[in-house]
A = this chain, B = another copy of it.
Amino acid sequence: MDLKFLHELIVPAHTKIAMIIMDGLGGLPLEPGGKTELEAAHTPHLDALAAQSALGLIVPLGPGITVESGPGHLGIFGYDPLEYRIGRGALEAVGLEFALGPHDVAARGNFCSVDAAGVVTDRRAGRIPTDASKKLSQRLKMQIDDVEFFVETVKEHRLAIVMRGPGLGVAVTGSDPQKDGLPPLPVRALDPDSEKTARCVNQFIERARQLLADERPANMILVRGLDHYPRLPAFPDLFGLRAAAIAVNPTYRGIARLVGMQVLKVDGDTVADEFAALEKNWHDFYFFYLHVKQTDLAGEDGDFSRKVRVIEEVDGLMPRLMALQPDVVVVSGDHSTPAALKGHSWHPVPTLLYGKYVRADGIAEFGERACARGSLGVLPAKDIMPLALANAQRLAKFSA
């Protein structure tokens, strides 16, 4: 179902939708026949909510496909992640709250170490401290012809690079040789419209090499993943929803800003602080996206029991959401991050859809296998938004 069709059915309402996204929520048992993180967690509030909800498993992008946070979030926000792609460079830049313009080109960068012959000896420059990295990145802001280069440290050796100027195509190769022991690659244009970009980036890299020549260990940079700021229909316009994002981690604040949500201030960095922001702003918005990063971090660390504890922490905060009497609640994740795999995975994500007009399954448990029995079935992540809108009575009947 395309977004234009959906947009035409949008009707105004005063209902409120809350979407609680536990990053990497889906999991796996540590041993055959065991429980997943979500199943192992003691979640009385989520279980009670599940009993009044429709349950299902969402597929972030397609069967068997593991996604990064960018496409994972586009899906739960209702966008087809295959149709709307966010370059990682753009994601890093917006995550830094860099005000990207629609014609800007964003790229990912790394400080790296090269030897006297110019061969890369460490693609991450020993993961230099963020503070040192920030000082160096300031020195790389420059202008080449009519193109401005902005350089911001994301963390340690990682950089967001933004190019601003006329006539910048993005069909170019990167300079990262992808492993140590090789020299950086010259950036090449893959179409005529991108020749200026390739030329400017190569000059930028050469200037950076000169500027960093006396530094150790970060005496060179690598550039890759050039892309335009993605042009997405803005979420609030598309769905007729004044929308707020509550997230601590810059990447998720960036993704939310990218789709046009208002990113709220969170006093503190705990999940409880995020719920406090939700309460504080409840009267000013119709849609709330609340992002919990720690489930994913625990999964990435392979820390099953820490992931369980984070889920239990969120469960303990659910009464504060429900006390606000939301019309529709979605509890889900952007992808799975099983501790057993120490990374993102392709497994469908347990999902709960609560609302006054939801046809509840009466399954009083929120977990992977409970959701597999739910009436939402196995569905694409992008189908969750239309279901939330319908249950919030924000979609008109389709007549012809």
Stretch at the interface among A143-151, A208-216, A361-369: A361-369
A258 to chain B, nearest CB (A): 12
Residues in chain B near residue A343, CB distance under 8 A:
397
- A65 x B400 contact (CB < 8 A): no
**What count of chain A residues pass the 8 Å CB interface test?**
68
Taking A375-B57, A375-B348 as contacts, is the C-beta distance between A225 and B361 under 8 angstroms?
no
Contact among B387, B389, B399 for A88, CB-based, below 8 A: B399
Number of copies of this chain that the complex holds: 2
- A86 x B400 contact (CB < 8 A): yes
Does A28 sit within 8 A of B, measured CB to CB? yes
Distance in angstroms between the alpha carbons of A68 and B400 in the assembled complex: 8
Residues in chain B near residue A57, CB distance under 8 A:
375, 377
Contact among B33, B66, B91 for A360, CB-based, below 8 A: B33
6 pairs from A and B in contact (CB 8 Å cutoff): A5-B82, A61-B398, A63-B387, A65-B390, A372-B374, A373-B373
Interface residue ranges, A against B (CB under 8 Å): 1, 5, 9, 26, 28-29, 32-33, 36, 51-52, 57, 61-68, 70-71, 81-82, 85-88, 91, 225, 227, 338, 340-341, 343-348, 357, 359-362, 368-369, 372-379, 383, 386-391, 395-400
Contact among B5, B368, B396 for A359, CB-based, below 8 A: B368
Taking A395-B66, A398-B65, A400-B88 as contacts, is the C-beta distance between A368 and B357 under 8 angstroms?
no
Residues in chain B near residue A360, CB distance under 8 A:
29, 32-33
- B65 x A1 contact (CB < 8 A): yes
